[in-house]
Homo-oligomer: A and B are copies of this chain.
Amino acid sequence: MVKFGQNITNIQTTMNGKDYFCNRRTIRNYTEEKIDRRFLGELLEAASHAPTTGNMQLYSVVITQDDAGKQRLSPAHFGQPSVMSAAAVLTFCADFNRFVKWCELRKARPGFNNLQAWLWAVEDTIIFAQQFVTLAEMNGLGTCYLGTTTYNADRISELLGLPDLVVPVITVTVGSPSSQGAKSDRLPIEAIVHDEQYKDYNESGIARIYAEKEALQDSRKYVEENGKENLAQVFTDVRYPKADNEHFSKVYSDLIRAKGFSF
């Protein structure tokens, strides 16, 4: 690691971690090898040193290693094979239950049933999850995020026995990689970085930013397989159709309210 006080301008030639970070890949299939529970605990412990709002640590993680538990979770994730294949399924939850219980036992009056507080918890949860993912990957494990966590969060909440003020936010499957996985394409970095002011995109700018992605063999395959005119339509009509997004927004919004956050 570059040491404290080292001149910043020198660092660019030896960027620490670049190899891992630029070449990381999501792993959806795992071998049958188990993960030592203590090792999982050590990774989570190390990850818990990631930044958190006001040092409140507004998260919990539920580890599912039992086959029966994975079997129950699987439909909530639409049967994505990485759930059953994983050595462990980690459901990261925004958690104000622990903190509020502490406040109440100390006769402190919590005011956290609102959008801001819920967002702190979501931020804390994702930062913690991402730090775990980085650590797991750096230690040779394969991981995959399941965004479906916010779709059927009501079912997941029931299965894991989540109390009030605890809401599932993101799931990570983890195991020993059964293949190296493919590296995902990314937009050119200029497309997402703005200096001093947000520079909005015009038509030719958008065309330039998405050109490489649209030209990928995989992209062309998705377009053809789904009988669409272009890749954008695969996203809007097949992967993330408006009706689905609205349905699952309602389910999640109802759950958040049922758990005690009102917004």
Contact = CB atoms under 8 A, between A and B. Distances in A.
Interface of A: 1-9, 11-12, 15-24, 26, 33-39, 41-51, 53-57, 59-66, 69, 87, 93, 95, 97-99, 101-103, 105-112, 114-117, 119-120, 122-123, 126-127, 130-131, 133-135, 138-141, 145, 147, 150-151, 160-163, 166, 169-170, 176-177, 180, 183-187, 189, 191-198, 200-201, 203, 206-207, 209-210, 229-233, 235-237, 239-243, 245-246, 248-249, 252-253, 263
A138 B241 CA distance: 40
Chain multiplicity (copies): 2
Q: Which 9 A-B pairs have the closest CB atoms?
A: A111-B242, A2-B140, A106-B232, A108-B232, A115-B249, A12-B39, A108-B236, A114-B249, A45-B189
B116 A186 contact: no
Given A61-B194, A105-B206, A240-B54, A140 B186 contact: no
